[in-house]
Structure 1
């Protein structure tokens, strides 16, 4: 009897997969249409020009963000431009040669130097040597919080103590109290992987999210704290309860719903959120979030959970499609597509180890998310 029931359940599951998987998969862009870290309309031309060794569009873009005090965009563009210069820096060298005191060129130069130092086996020593470079970028643009976000990333890697870190934090939030990038940097510092704990990290993230403006990415800080705990593994201990992680997901889902589907601005937050939802076994919510992501896959967090980040994204999406199909009754019609399930989408007993074996579970060394005891608000590379 037990064997008969097991065979029957397997048959029903297979029938549901065959019936619903094609329809559910059709609601998402084909694999070949998904792009990793696709630039927005402002950044794209600057990257194309940089590939031709022309720094002028990048210089104009960053000057515009500085003059307009578009700190969130500025932080994101500086990080992307420095990532491009990591492998092709001829355009940056031309820029610095023509304008050695340009505050925007100095900022990209400092961000690039910090990124390279993070990749060195002698990370702490190399980072300590970069203090004057970051100070020069900060002095060149006194109102800009981005050099101070960079200083926070630098301080963490250089093993700065809490007092020194909080001094830098005060400088960052004085310029932009709700700057997302600075909050991410602080969250990383407070994570259990660095100088805090899971609870301290969550407390900071939740306090910042409560104080965030409507639509601010700072509201997603708790889900970054959840990711930090999940990726640390079950041996980390002293973590927060699952219901607190689910509450972080619910807050991030509400934030994501405020933006149009396929919007590149919240793409990284959505990618992070969908990974945590998959970890929690919240398949309906995950599938709906993949619908909002569309073709906007991002390196973070997939570089930290898969050898190939784009493949990791696509496999997670396929997994969500199959799990929702497997749970959808055979007679359910088209209305049972992505987003039609109850809000939480959580099944009884869902837990981080509820993954199907087909989903990658390898977690390389994590460099941590960010949102610390100090503030709210930017971006930043996953190395920091």
Structure 2
């Protein structure tokens, strides 16, 4: 992660976070797809393959890169066309499945869940050690509201390959919440288990704080008196303690080193500002160095605008 120098960097949304290679690829893909040439799929798939083949055993980095590519290409024909042309390519199959999942979440309906699952199972056969096909299957099972025994089975498949997979933990957190197939008690039990077992700087380290921010925002979005009282959430012991643990270490140089570390620092900065702990937020904003994630800032308005307002409050104490 880059840290703030004497000059404050202008805030900007960056899906790639601090992954320079992924950022360059996104720009290249945008330029390539805008040409509208017949060879677009071949060009894009070659560019994507080049990136994904670099660190084939860094599952954390691979999950981050494929998730970002799936989001950016969810409305493109490229992922499906690539998978159709190279049915023996695990990366092509997973990207196609993940992109369809992203699109389904956006539209509120899944076009062909069986085809998505089949792509994942084929990818899993081609690359048995890769957790990403199972991550997509886990996300698919959430969307389809599958029963907990089936979901936990997929969860165990991910963990057998990548013990602290960030995307898998966040999927389980959402699935176990009262908005989906669980309850507040199940969320608390899950968070307690993660905190007891996971290293403090694991890729899934933000699971506990994510749960607290989700609960805070669920009250905030109610509006009215409830929204006015939402800030009291951070004075309750579970929320305050989760924030204490993260604020103590996360912003230290090199402490968080997983691919989505900057996303977790955005979460921490947001929570500290919401809790009126502005002096503690200042070094977190310095560590972020202007790299903004859409969530959690988007809940209260334009993410970049909300980030800038919060950063200014941390800097001035107002």
TM-score, length of structure 1 as denominator length = 0.68
Q: What residue in structure 2 maps to residue 109 of structure 1?
A: 96
Per-residue CA distance 1:197-226 (angstroms, 9 max, x = gap):
334213312321332235213222110110
Alignment CA distance shift 1:297-1:172 (3 Å): same
**SS state of the match for residue 100, structure 1?**
coil
**Alignment map for 1:57-206 (pairs within 5 Å):** 57-66=47-56, 69-90=57-78, 92=79, 95-96=82-83, 98-123=85-110, 126-127=112-113, 130-206=116-192
Gap runs ≥5 in structure 2: 33-39
Match of 1:224 among 210, 214, 226: 210
1:155 CA displacement? 0.7
Alignment CA distance shift 1:203-1:278 (3 Å): farther
Structure whose CA Rg is larger: 1
Alpha-carbon RMSD = 3.0
1:262 CA displacement? 11
Q: How many residues align?
A: 292
Per-residue CA distance 1:152-171 (angstroms, 9 max, x = gap):
11111101111111111111
Gap runs ≥5 in structure 1: 1-25, 327-384
Q: What residue in structure 2 maps to residue 35 of structure 1?
A: 12
Distance 1:227 1:275 in 2: 9
| Alignment check: 8 A CA contact 2:164 2:203 kept | no
Distance 2:108 2:48 in 1: 31
| Alignment check: 8 A CA contact 2:203 2:260 kept | no
**Alignment map for 1:1-384 (pairs within 5 Å):** 29-30=8-9, 33-37=10-14, 39=16, 40-51=19-30, 52=32, 53=40, 54=43, 55-66=45-56, 69-90=57-78, 92=79, 95-96=82-83, 98-123=85-110, 126-127=112-113, 130-233=116-219, 242-260=236-254, 265-303=260-298, 305-322=299-316, 324=317, 326=318
Please state which structure has a larger fraction of its residues in helix. Answer: 2
Distance 1:317 1:258 in 2: 18
Alignment CA distance shift 1:297-1:242 (3 Å): same
TM-score, length of structure 2 as denominator length = 0.81
Alignment CA distance shift 1:27-1:56 (3 Å): same
| Alignment check: 8 A CA contact 1:262 1:293 kept | no
**SS state of the match for residue 206, structure 2?**
helix
| Alignment check: 8 A CA contact 1:110 1:137 kept | no
| Alignment check: 8 A CA contact 1:277 1:283 kept | yes
Highest RCO, 1 vs 2 (Cα 8 Å, sep ≥ 6)? 1
Distance 2:275 2:234 in 1: 14
